[in-house]
Amino acid sequence: MQDSEKDPKNYVGEVESEGDHSVKEVDDAWKFLDKHRDAAVPEESADILAIRRKNDYRIVPLGFLCYTMQIMDKLVLNYAGVMTMRQDLNLQGNDFSNLITFSYVALALWELPTIYLLQRFPVAKYMAVNVILWGVATACGAAAHNYQTMLVTRVFLAIFEASINPSLMLISGRWYTKPEQAPRLALWLQGLGIAQIVGGAMSYGFQFVGPDAALAAWRIMFIAMGVVTIGIGILTFFVLPDTPMEAGWLKDGEKVALLRHISVNQTGVGQRKFRVVEIWEALRDPQVWLIWASGMLMAGTSAVTVTYSSTLIRNMGYTPKEATLLNMPGGAISIFSQLLPAWRIRRGDPRTAWALILLIPTILGSALMSFLPSKNKSGLLAGFILTNFITGPLTIIWQWAPANVAGATKRAFVMTMLSAMFAFGSLGMPQSFQARDAPEYRPAKITLLATQAAGACTTIALFAYYVWRNRSRKASDSAIQESFMSPEVWARMTDLENKRFRYVY
Rounded to the nearest 10 degrees, how much is the dihedral formed by the CA atoms of 495, 284, 465, 26?
A: 0
Residue 24 φ/ψ, nearest 5 degrees = -100, 5
CA distances (Å), origin 264, targets 261, 287, 311, 458, 493: 7, 20, 47, 27, 14
What CA–CA distance (Å, rounded) separates 478 from 97? Answer: 52
CA 388 to chain centre: 16
Question: What is the model's pLDDT at position 60?
Answer: 93
Measuring CA to CA, which residue among 341, 408, 335, 343 is closest to residue 188? 335
State the average pLDDT for the chain.
82
Mean pLDDT, residues 318-346? 83
Residue 41 φ/ψ, nearest 5 degrees = -120, 155
Question: What is the model's pLDDT at position 16?
Answer: 41
Burial of 369 (0-12, 13-18, 19+ CB in 10 A): buried
- Which pLDDT tens digit goes with each residue over 408-427? 788 888 888 888 888 787 77
Question: What is the model's pLDDT at position 150?
Answer: 93
* Sign of torsion over alpha carbons 13, 14, 16, 22: positive
Task: Check residue 266 and give left, alpha or beta (phi > 0: left; psi -120 to 50: alpha).
Answer: left
Q: Say what angle helices 286-307 and 48-80 make with each other, to 10 degrees.
A: 50
Beta partners for residue 274, in sequence order? none
Beta partners for residue 22, in sequence order? 16
Statement: residue 377 has pLDDT above 70: yes
Rounded to the nearest 10 degrees, how much is the dihedral formed by the CA atoms of 495, 499, 501, 505?
A: 90
Statement: residue 21 has pLDDT above 50: no
Statement: residue 489 has pLDDT above 90: no
Statement: residue 482 has pLDDT above 70: no
DSSP string, 93-108: TTHHHHHHHHHHHHHH
Question: What is the model's pLDDT at position 481?
Answer: 54
Contact 3, 487 (CB under 8 A): no
CB environment 254-273: b (16+ within 10 A), e (fewer): bbbbbbbbbbbbbbbbbbee
Domains delineated in the chain: 54-474 (1.20.1250.20)
Of the chain, the percentage scoring pLDDT greater than 70 comes to: 87
What CA–CA distance (Å, rounded) separates 274 from 295? Answer: 25
pTM for this entry: 0.76
Contact 4, 487 (CB under 8 A): yes
CA distances (Å), origin 315, targets 319, 323, 333: 9, 9, 21
Statement: residue 76 has pLDDT above 60: yes
CA distances (Å), origin 107, targets 43, 358, 447: 44, 27, 22
Measuring CA to CA, which residue among 472, 468, 464 is closest to residue 498? 472
Statement: residue 153 has pLDDT above 80: yes
Q: Band of the pLDDT at 73, cuts 50, 70, 90?
A: confident
Question: What is the model's pLDDT at position 15?
Answer: 41
Measuring CA to CA, which residue among 369, 358, 356 is closest to residue 312? 369
Omega prior to 8 cis, within 30 of 0: no
Q: Is 203 helix (H, G, I), strand (E, B) or coil?
A: helix
Statement: residue 329 has pLDDT above 50: yes
Question: What is the model's pLDDT at position 288?
Answer: 93
